[in-house]
């Protein structure tokens, strides 16, 4: 039946192996492959943007793209004689896809500058890529993971318009102590971003003698918060610190109101719980009057913020989230640096030191600069959700903390000697005494 006798197969195999070996040798003789040319485009500055416009964080990623485009639309895409040419790639909220797209932007589109991405795991993946490809400069407006500007810094990955997860939570703990809270329950997302938010709050709150009596963690994608919220006994605590993110936030807000905790238990939340991409979708008054700490407040009464907010509203018909402000500010950051360099980015070291030295007197976040570790120094706002004249839910500024560092009031060296905030380490016993 089968005519392929073993001997014939073996002979064929030998021949095949020989053929392949010869062909490979011939190819190897040609020397190393390469893309041939490419090089530095004289006039245009090619920028690759890595924003997730599909997948679980598509809504926030789309806001990133809108903010980035809005800056160049309002300010013109030619800076100091150089035209900024942007190419967008969708990272789908996945670190592996982020890496593939970064390679594509660099190798195929000849991008010298990468902007993005969104999630911390995507940002870490890109940081690893940038560490190995020092000739590329990265701007990181959204990826807020603490260690990106603390224990795992990559110096060609600049937090332009960026932030640090635990930075707005540090003043929140201090504020809670100011209000005389003694016993608090924290509720955060069960992953790194949640640990860093709860850690920031716990660290400063316990420094002032407060006690965190219970720490609750809800997994990402929690649709029903009642099993967590029912563990909060109003008579037992003075207040609750909450962090939620993405699609979890509306669910938390609904649960908080439905279980009758609103008005009964004081609440302080983080940036993402009441940010605009959450508030946009809420039609009732559940969030009205609730307070949070964040580095962005669309209701901030300042020319820079209001110019951005009204332009965004005009262009896209909705109020901007901090994701949009972040990429808009990254555009402002790049423009400022290019103007200082008179458009000359040929010296990589000089380009990087100019980027890290940028000081914005005002932006949609407020004044912004970087500390010597690459962590943003800027305003943190105590915000309250209110309805504006148009009936939209906005975050109004109640109080401004100026020049907040990622290290709060701690000594940077001592702070960095501690591990990054995790489920285990929340800074409750540090610094002791």
Partner 1 sequence: MTASGWASRARWIALGITLVLLAALPYLVSSFVVNLATQALIFGLFALSINLLAGYGGLITLGQAGFIGIAGYGLAILTTQEGWPLGAAIAGGLVLCVLAAAFFGLLLVRARGTYFVMITLAEGMVVWGIAQRWQELTGGENGITGVPKPGFAQEYWEFYYLALVVVAACTVLIARIVRSPLGLSLKGIREAEDRLPPLGYDVALHKLVSFTISGFFAGVAGVLLAMYNSFIGPSDVFFLTSAEGLLMSILGGVGTLTGAFVGAGVVIYIQNDVSSWLERWQTLLGVVFVLVVLFAPDGIVGAWTRYVWAPLLRRVGAADAAAAAEAATSAASAAVVSGDADGAGPAPVTAPAPAPPAPHREEARSP
Question: Per CB under 8 A, does 127 bind partner 1?
Answer: yes
* 56: Cβ contacts below 8 Å, ≥ 6 apart: 93, 246, 247
For 19: left if phi > 0, alpha if psi spans -120 to 50, otherwise beta; the answer is alpha
Binding residues for partner 1 restricted to 314-373, rule: CB under 8 A:
none
Question: Per CB under 8 A, does 63 bind partner 1?
Answer: no
**Binding segment for partner 1 among 100-108, 236-244, 318-326, 328-336 (CB under 8 A)?**
100-108
245-274 per-residue burial string, b: 16 or more CB within 10 A, e: under 16? bbbbbbbbbbbbbeeebbeebbbbbbbbbb
Question: Per CB under 8 A, does 153 bind partner 1?
Answer: no
> Minimum Å distance from CB 146 to partner 1?
10
Pick the binder of partner 1 from 32, 303, 372, 391 (CB under 8 A). Answer: 32
Our CB check for partner 1 shows the closer of 54 and 400 to be 54
Angle at 156 (CA atoms; ends 155, 161), nearest 5 degrees:
95
Pick the binder of partner 1 from 45, 137, 192, 334 (CB under 8 A). Answer: 192
Pick the binder of partner 1 from 15, 264, 359, 402 (CB under 8 A). Answer: 15
Question: Per CB under 8 A, does 6 bind partner 1?
Answer: no
Q: Are 65 and 116 in contact (CB under 8 A)?
A: no
Question: Per CB under 8 A, does 110 bind partner 1?
Answer: no
Question: Per CB under 8 A, does 7 bind partner 1?
Answer: no
Pick the binder of partner 1 from 44, 74, 78, 104 (CB under 8 A). Answer: 104
Q: Are 47 and 84 in contact (CB under 8 A)?
A: yes
CA gap 282, 279 in Å, rounded? 5
Q: Phi and psi for 245 in degrees, rounded to 5? A: -150, 150
Please, which residues bridge with residue 376 across strands?
370
Report the Cα–Cα distance between both ends of the chain, in Å, rounded.
87
Q: How many residues bind partner 1 (CB under 8 A)?
A: 56
Question: Per CB under 8 A, does 30 bind partner 1?
Answer: yes
Question: Per CB under 8 A, does 100 bind partner 1?
Answer: yes
Give the length of the chain.
433
Q: What does the per-residue mask of binding to partner 1 show for 396-425, with x meaning CB under 8 A? A: --------------------------xxx-
Our CB check for partner 1 shows the closer of 13 and 388 to be 13
Residue written as token pair 């860093």: 196
Strands (E), 18-131: 44-50, 78-79, 82-89, 113-115
Question: Per CB under 8 A, does 303 bind partner 1?
Answer: no
Binding site for partner 1 (CB under 8 A): 1-4, 8-9, 12-13, 15-16, 19-20, 23-24, 27, 30, 32-35, 53-54, 89-90, 92, 94-97, 99-101, 103-104, 107-108, 120-121, 124-125, 127-129, 131-132, 145, 147, 152, 190-193, 195, 422-424
């Amino acid at each position: 039946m089968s005519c392929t006798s073993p001997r014939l197969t073996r002979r064929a195999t030998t021949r095949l192996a020989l053929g392949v070996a010869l062909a490979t040798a011939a190819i190897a003789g040609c020397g190393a492959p390469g893309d041939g040319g490419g090089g530095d485009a004289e006039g245009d500055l090619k920028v690759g943007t890595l924003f997730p416009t599909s997948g679980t964080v598509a809504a926030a990623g789309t806001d990133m793209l809108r903010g980035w485009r809005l800056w160049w639309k309002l300010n013109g895409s030619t800076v100091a004689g150089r035209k900024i040419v942007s190419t967008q790639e969708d990272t789908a909220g996945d670190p592996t896809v982020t890496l593939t797209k970064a390679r594509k932007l660099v190798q195929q589109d000849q991008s010298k500058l990468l902007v993005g991405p969104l999630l911390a795991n995507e940002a870490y993946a890109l940081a690893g890529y940038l560490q190995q490809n020092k000739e590329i400069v990265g701007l990181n407006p959204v990826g807020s993971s603490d260690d990106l500007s603390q224990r795992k810094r990559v110096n060609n990955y600049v937090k332009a318009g960026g932030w640090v997860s635990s930075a707005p939570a540090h003043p929140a703990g201090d504020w809670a102590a100011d209000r005389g809270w003694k016993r608090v329950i924290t509720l955060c997302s069960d992953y790194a971003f949640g640990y860093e938010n709860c850690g920031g709050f716990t660290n400063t709150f316990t420094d002032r003698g407060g006690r965190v009596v219970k720490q609750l963690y809800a997994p990402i994608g929690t649709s029903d918060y009642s099993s967590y919220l029912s563990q909060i006994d109003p008579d037992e605590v003075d207040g609750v610190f909450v962090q939620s993110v993405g699609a979890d936030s509306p669910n938390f807000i609904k649960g908080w109101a439905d279980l009758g905790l609103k008005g009964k238990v004081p609440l302080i939340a983080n940036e993402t719980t009441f940010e605009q991409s959450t508030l946009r979708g809420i039609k009732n008054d559940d969030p009205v009057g609730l307070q949070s700490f964040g580095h962005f407040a669309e209701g901030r009464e300042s020319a820079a913020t209001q110019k951005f907010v009204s332009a965004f509203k005009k262009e896209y018909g909705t109020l901007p989230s901090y994701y949009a402000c972040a990429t808009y500010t990254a555009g402002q950051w790049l423009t400022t640096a290019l103007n200082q360099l008179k458009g000359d980015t040929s010296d990589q070291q000089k380009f990087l030191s100019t980027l890290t030295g940028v000081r914005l007197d005002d932006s949609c976040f407020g004044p912004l600069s970087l500390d010597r570790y690459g962590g943003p120094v800027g305003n943190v706002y105590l915000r309250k959700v209110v309805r504006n004249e148009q009936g939209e839910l906005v975050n109004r500024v109640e109080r401004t903390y100026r020049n907040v560092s990622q290290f709060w009031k701690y000594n940077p060296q001592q702070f960095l000697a501690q591990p990054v905030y995790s489920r285990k380490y929340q800074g409750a016993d540090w610094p002791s005494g």
